[in-house]
Amino acid sequence: MKYIVTVFFCTFFVLIHAQTNTLDCDLTQSYTQQTIGTWGKYISQVTTQLQQNYSPELQFKRMMIRHMYIAHLLFNDSDSKEIDIQLNGMKKDLEELEKNPQFAEKCLAFRAAYNSYCAVNSPATAVYYLPKSFSYAKDAITKQPQSPYSWSEYGNLQYCYALFLGGSFSDAIKAYKKSIELIEKQQKNLSCNWYYIHTLLFLAKSYEDNRQYAEANTIYDKILQITPQFTAIHRWKHKL
User: What CATH number should be reported for the domain holding residue 57?
Assistant: 1.25.40.10
For the chain, counts of helices (H) and of strands (E): 12, 0
Measure the CA angle with vertex 74, ends 137 and 229; round to 5°: 90
Model pLDDT, residue 9: 39
Model pLDDT, residue 33: 96
Q: Could you count the other beta carbons within 10 Å of the beta carbon of residue 28?
A: 24
Residue 168 DSSP SS3: coil
**pTM, full prediction:** 0.89
Measure the CA angle with vertex 201, ends 200 and 206; round to 5°: 95
Model pLDDT, residue 101: 95
Residue 107 belongs to what domain range? 2-236
Q: Which amino acid is at 105?
A: E
Query: Total structural domains in the chain?
Result: 1
Per-residue pLDDT of the chain (240 residues; tens, 9 = 90+): 544 444 333 443 433 444 557 999 999 999 999 999 999 999 999 999 999 999 999 999 999 999 999 999 999 999 999 999 999 999 999 999 999 999 999 999 999 999 999 999 999 999 999 999 999 999 999 999 999 999 999 999 999 999 988 878 999 999 999 999 999 999 878 999 999 999 999 999 999 999 999 999 999 999 999 999 999 999 999 876
- Rg, the chain, Cα only: 18
Measure the CA angle with vertex 190, ends 141 and 98; round to 5°: 40
What gap in Å lies between CA 33 and CA 81, rounded to an integer?
24
Measure the CA angle with vertex 175, ends 61 and 103; round to 5°: 30
